[in-house]
Amino acid sequence: MKRSKIETRGLSLWFGQKQVLDNVDLNILENSITAIMGPSGCGKSTLIRVFNRMNDIIPDCNVTGSVFLDGEDVYSPSVDVVALRMRVGMVFQKPNPFPKSIYDNVAFGLRIQKRTSKEETDKVVEESLRGAALWDEVKDRLKDSALELSGGQQQRLCIARALAVKPEVVLMDEPCSALDPSATAKIEALMAELKKNYTVVVVTHNMQQAARVSDYTAFLYLGKVVEYGLTDQIFENPTNKLTENYITGRFG
Amino acid sequence: MTKAATQRIAFALLRLSAAVIVASVFLLLGYLVWNGTPALSLSFLLESPREGMTAGGVFPAIVGTFYLTLLTLLFALPLGVGAAIYLSEYADPRRSKTLYMIRTATVVLAGIPSIVYGLLGLGLFVLFLRLGFSILSSALALSFLTLPVIISASEEALRTVPPSYREGAFALGATKWQVIRDAVLPFAAPGILTACILGLARAAGETAPILLTGAAYYLPELPNSIFDQFMALPFHIFTLSTQSVNPRLTRPIQFGSVLVLLLLVLSLNLVAIVIRSYYRQKYRWVT
């Protein structure tokens, strides 16, 4: 049995008066891919944004319940959010490379946290780009603007950028929704690689993707976890009627 | 009247208003170019006025305007951009009263007639702070005048930075200041720069504020320090056309000076346009 990496207990979240998450209990296991699927607006993205406290940026966001990362409460007042976000990296729905060079994009996370020597930075940039399966495509043009890359390359660059700060968890918020099928296939293959070293949580409203890539799947509906378990089981033998209706395409 | 006829009349009126605008611009420019070009020459640009300002060139006025604009930029840029960053990044939108007050203040500042900035400069900088009639006093007065332009346009530029950049930087463990410095500002910089140039172009053409704070009718020497008085193009034009011993005689150099000022301001605007379109092209992927 794998170790638990992230655990939520009675997690609820409000944006102003609107409740987005309702009493979520999840146990996300280390070195696995956990997919969070559900129809638009069910709170999937909000849920993973709890794990690195990205919701903090949004005014009027209130959280109750607890979220543990390696047993430590993420919302405890003593937690350094900046340090937390280095442990829990994130890749967004739309590729969002900075308007800088490919190299500078990957080095961004290193440069903002400490003085890293040129050699060390070079090394990490290469490692991270290799880790994101992008190195061979860009090694000769690291100084070119990241904006010249294709959409799929940009997304892998964003993954490399997240890996460069050596996170333990990689959150992916619909990472393929803006990509074409071949770029999507590359990202999916990459996820399978990533889980060897990282805990991956991926939000998707694409059921096939959840079925293809993940080990565990949570089905979220109206802010509640309807069903959570091994992906195979969820897709082959859902215990809840709602889940069954969703995966058979009766709504969503 | 038929619907078609109403439409024809409406279109005709709209075309007319567009035509009036274009025509007046061309008329103004044409008139100035026609009358000013004969006076323009290299020596006109590089010589001092002679014979009681009835002959010679506008070199000291160009230099003065240049110094003045540069110094204004030095004051207005950090202050204006700082205020814009505060407004768009730090100010808590929930405390909308404070924000509302600052925004209103900016709008009011923009609506104040320039002569009032001159009086403010005279009272505050020249007399109270004892900076004297100087480039410094004038530049400070002009900075206040350009601040609203710089603040509102910079804020606009900051707001157009896609939220995904902020999120991307936050997600990498950047502090709020690092997010602003490393992700937001580089993206907004072209817009901010454009805003500053447009603000400066306005300042460069102002007469009233410098008239009361440091511009001189005629100076035999170029200014040596920021505490010296200076000649400037707009004020030079004012003196040539109203204070001259023989306004009729100096007509050609009046037009020449106006044309020089106009070219200066237009080229500043042109630079702003070029910067903007260059970066629009460069960032088209993400916007």
Q: What is the CATH number of the domain that holds A203?
A: 3.40.50.300
Residue B18 sits in the same domain as residue B116: no
Residues B139 and B196 occupy one common structural domain: yes
Whether B159 and B30 share a structural domain: no
Beta carbons within 10 angstroms of residue B279's beta carbon: 18
**Any CB–CB contact under 8 A between B170 and chain A?**
yes
| Shortest Cα–Cα distance, A192 to chain B (Å) | 22
Residue B287 within any structural domain of the chain? no
Beta bridge partners of A28: A6
Predicted confidence at residue B54, as pLDDT, reads 75
> pLDDT-derived band of residue B193, with 50, 70 and 90 as boundaries?
confident
In a domain, A84, yes or no: yes
Closest to A46 in 3D by CA, of A197, A171, A157, A179: A171
- The three-point CA angle B238-B239-B243 to 5° equals 125
Name the pTM for this structure: 0.80
Rounded CA separation B241/B166 (Å): 54
Say if CB B219 and CB B49 are below 8 A apart: no
Please indicate whether, in this complex, the C-beta atoms of A108 and B164 are within 8 angstroms of each other.
no
Domain-located, residue B97 = yes
How far CA A9 is from CA of A18, A25, A51, A218, A225, in Å, comes to 20, 5, 12, 15, 12
| Assigned domain for A197 exists | yes
Question: Is A52 contained in some domain?
Answer: yes
B51 falls within a domain: yes
Contacting residues of B for A109, CB less than 8 Å apart: 172-173
3-state class of A19 per DSSP? strand
Q: Is residue A252 part of a domain?
A: no
CATH of the domain at B142: 1.10.3720.10
pLDDT at B286 (0 to 100): 47
**Are residues B174 and A112, on separate chains, in Cβ contact within 8 Å?**
yes
Alpha-carbon distance of A143 to A162, in angstroms, equals 19
Say yes or no: B109 and B214 in one domain: yes
- What pLDDT sits at residue A1? 66
Nearest chain B residue to A104 by CA: give it.
B182
Q: What does the pLDDT read at residue B169? A: 93
Query: Is B54 contained in some domain?
Result: yes
Lowest mean pLDDT segment, chosen from A169-178, A227-236, B274-283: B274-283
The confidence score (pLDDT) of residue A252 equals 59
Task: Please state, in angstroms and as integers, the Cα–Cα distance from residue B148 to each residue in A100, A181, A210, B85, B203, following that order.
Answer: 30, 49, 52, 14, 12
**ipTM over the 0.85 cut-off:** yes
Q: Domain for residue B120, yes or no?
A: yes
CB contact under 8 A, B167 and A54: yes
Same domain, B29 and B127: no
What CA–CA distance (Å, rounded) separates B194 from B280? Answer: 12
Q: Over pLDDT 90: what percentage of chain B?
A: 45
For residue A81, is it within any domain?
yes
pLDDT, mean of residues A224-251: 89
Q: Mean pLDDT throughout A108-118?
A: 85
Mean predicted confidence (pLDDT) in B203-225: 87
Q: Do A109 and B172 touch (CB under 8 A)?
A: yes
Domains of chain B: total: 2
**Is residue A102 scored above 90 in pLDDT?**
yes
Q: Find the domain containing A67 and state its range.
A: 4-247
Domain count, chain A: 1
Helix, strand, coil share (%) of chain B residues, nearest 5: 75, 0, 25
Nearest chain A residue to B285 by CA: give it.
Answer: A147
Q: Model confidence over A34-84: pLDDT tens digits? A: 999 998 888 999 999 999 999 988 888 999 999 999 999 999 999 999 999
B178 inside domain: yes
Tell me if chain A has a CB within 8 Å of the CB of B178: yes
| A218 inside domain | yes
Pair B251, B217 in one domain: yes
Position A114 pLDDT exceeds 90: no
Above 50 in pLDDT, residue B287? no
Radius of gyration of chain B (CA): 23
SS3 A200: strand
Give chain A positions within 8 Å (CB) of B189. none
Question: Over chain A, what is the mean pLDDT?
Answer: 91
- The CA dihedral of B78, B84, B90, B94, to the nearest 10 degrees, is 150
Q: Is there a single domain that holds both residue B243 and residue B138? A: yes
Residues B14 and B106 in one domain: no
Contact list in B for residue A110 (CB cut-off 8 A) is none
Q: Please indicate, yes or no, whether residues B161 and B120 belong to a single structural domain of this protein.
A: yes
Beta-carbon separation of B172 and A86 below 8 A:
yes
Range of the structural domain that residue B30 is part of: 3-39
Q: Are residues B11 and B150 in the same domain?
A: no
- B115: number of Cβ within 10 Å: 14
**Nearest-by-Cβ selection for A113 from B92, B167, B173:** B173
Contact between B173 and A57 using a beta-carbon 8 Å cutoff: no
Q: Give CA torsion, residues A107, A135, A100, A45, to 10 deg.
A: -80
Contact between B229 and B134 (Cβ < 8 Å): yes
Residue B72 resides in a domain:
yes
> Under 8 Å CB-to-CB from B3, ≥6 apart: which residues?
none
Does the structure show a pLDDT above 90 at A27? Answer: yes
pLDDT at B197: 87
* Residue B12 resides in a domain: yes
